[in-house]
Amino acid sequence: MKILVTGGAGFIGSAVVRHIIENTRDSVVNVDCLTYAGNLESLISVETSERYAFEQVNICDRAALDRVFAQHQPDAVMHLAAESHVDRSITGPAAFIETNIVGTYTLLEATRNYWDQLDDTAKQAFRFHHISTDEVYGDLLHPDEVLEGTELPMFLETTSYEPSSPYSASKASSDHLVRAWLRTYGLPTIVTNCSNNYGPYHFPEKLIPLVILNALEGKDLPIYGKGDQIRDWLFVEDHARALYKVVTEGKVGETYNIGGHNEKQNLEVVQTICLILDTLVPKETAYSQQITYVQDRPGHDRRYSIDSSKMQRELDWAPEETFETGLKKTVQWYLDNREWCKHVQDGSYQRERLGLDSEKIEESK
């Protein structure tokens, strides 16, 4: 099987590519335009495999996509390419509309054009797997909003959409496009919605890697509001296993929610990182003393919680990492890979690898 993975140089995408190349016999075509968050250094372990190919292509470029499909003849698409940082979507929503909505539309049309030309057997086997987020559902009741002992709701595959940010609204739109291409054109699509991912190779603008690196550098550890926002944390390698299960065994037209079964308040996450660092890299004062509180961001969802029982029931998947084991592995990885962090932030590896000049790297940020 040959799988075209969009956004395969990103955080989750690179985990998916590594999983496929290292644990299966399938081939991967990695399609990524290499924005600031895409980093080929995350794929060093697989880039020499004869089953791996890289195409530096923007998913909004229809002609380039048509060429990639014609050249590589994939059996499935896993669509992970997206702008994904909520804060950036608030200050600059246009890029999110362009990539997440227009890019998904362009990819769907390129895929449909390719799929229409396949023979009946290949058409039947083909899959378009769209990877989305739990943020499309909006937020859920917080424990401090209900009576003690009341059972709190979770996101189900049937939960209605109520996105709160430009990012989540753009992802909700892309989800609807994917389902419409199934209903209207018969393109065999599947959608997954995941909870917050964490783990190795995460760009250092997201909460967990940012806190780890800021702590080590003696900087403030900023917490929005009171830090009582609750997220369900999913180790990225568990997510990669789940996504491969879906694209190979999932049912066309279905939605699958993928969660880590780890609801934690943001403040608790930061405090846990500090405790781990206190043990691994001790200093005179506790890292928790670097915690600061900043003004909450607009439209900040208070609680997410994924019910992933459908994944376990129908596809025999469950997360292997607890939050404690996964977080320890993550902190240790960042301690052991400070050079990767430096390269991904300054773009030096990308420049050396592809001959990109510093101005283009800076423009993409």
Query: Tell me, what's the pLDDT at 359?
Result: 47
| CA separation for the pair 348, 56 (Å, rounded) | 17
Assign 194 a pLDDT band (cuts: 50, 70, 90). Answer: very high
Q: Which listed residue (55, 83, 134, 238) is catalytic?
A: 134
Q: What is the enclosing helix (H) or strand (E) of 221?
A: strand 221-224
| Active site annotation includes 135 | yes
Answer yes or no: is pLDDT of 158 > 60: yes
Span 332-352, pLDDT tens digits: 999 999 988 888 888 777 777
Q: Are strands 189-194 and 52-55 parallel, antiparallel or unpaired?
A: unpaired
pLDDT band at 127 (very low <50, low <70, confident <90, very high): very high
52-55/221-224 β-pairing:
unpaired
Residue spans of the domains in the chain: they are 2-199+236-261+303-323+347-364
pLDDT tier for residue 272 given thresholds of 50, 70 and 90: very high
Residue closest to 26 by CA, chosen among 44, 43, 5, 10: 5
| Residue 263 · residue 305 · CB < 8 Å | yes
Residue 167 designated active-site: yes
pLDDT class of 357 with cuts at 50, 70, 90? very low
Give pLDDT, residue 110.
98
Mean pLDDT across 204-217: 94
Of residues 340 and 45, which shows the higher confidence score? Answer: 45
pLDDT score, position 37: 83
What band does 365 get if pLDDT is binned at 50, 70 and 90?
very low
Q: What is the pLDDT of residue 364?
A: 43
* Mean of pLDDT values over 18-37: 96
User: Among the options 32, 41, 83, 135, which is catalytic?
Assistant: 135
Please pick, among 167, 244, 287, 304, the residue that the annotation labels catalytic: 167
Averaged pLDDT, 142-155: 89
Q: How confident is the model at residue 299 (pLDDT cuts 50, 70, 90)?
A: confident
Q: Which helix (H) or strand (E) holds 28?
A: strand 27-31
Are the CB atoms for 188 and 111 separated by under 8 Å? no
Distances (CA, A) of 144 to 209, 220, 229, 244: 28, 28, 11, 37
Is the pLDDT assigned to residue 328 strictly greater than 70? yes
Q: How many other C-beta atoms lie within 10 A of the C-beta of residue 42? A: 25
The model's pLDDT over 53-107, given as tens digits with 9 standing for 90+, comes to: 999 999 999 999 999 999 999 999 999 999 998 989 999 999 999 999 999 999 9
What digits encode the pLDDT tens for the residues 212-258? Answer: 999 999 999 999 999 999 999 999 999 999 999 999 999 999 999 99
pLDDT of residue 274: 98
The answer regarding whether domain 2-199+236-261+303-323+347-364 maps to CATH 3.90.25.10 reads no
**What pLDDT does 36 receive?**
84
| Contact residues for 358 (Cβ-Cβ < 8 A; gap 6+) | 347, 351
* CA distance readout (Å), 288 to 85, 202, 212, 271, 282: 25, 22, 11, 6, 12
Contacts of 155 (CB under 8 A, 6+ apart): 134, 137, 140, 193, 257, 259, 304, 305, 306, 307
Tokens of 303: 């609680």
How far apart (Å, rounded) are the C-alpha atoms in residues 85 and 290? Answer: 24
Which 3 state secondary structure label does DSSP give 365? coil
Q: Is the pLDDT of residue 205 over 90?
A: no
When pLDDT is averaged across residues 253-269 and rounded to a whole number, the result is 97
pLDDT at 15 over 90: yes
Q: What was the pLDDT predicted at 330?
A: 98
Query: For position 360, what pLDDT does the model report?
Result: 46
pLDDT band at 363 (very low <50, low <70, confident <90, very high): very low
Share of the chain above pLDDT 70, in %: 97
**pLDDT above 60: residue 361:** no
Which of the four pLDDT bands, split at 50, 70 and 90, describes residue 109? very high
Q: How confident is the model at residue 161, as a pLDDT?
A: 98
- Is 134 noted as a catalytic residue in this protein? yes
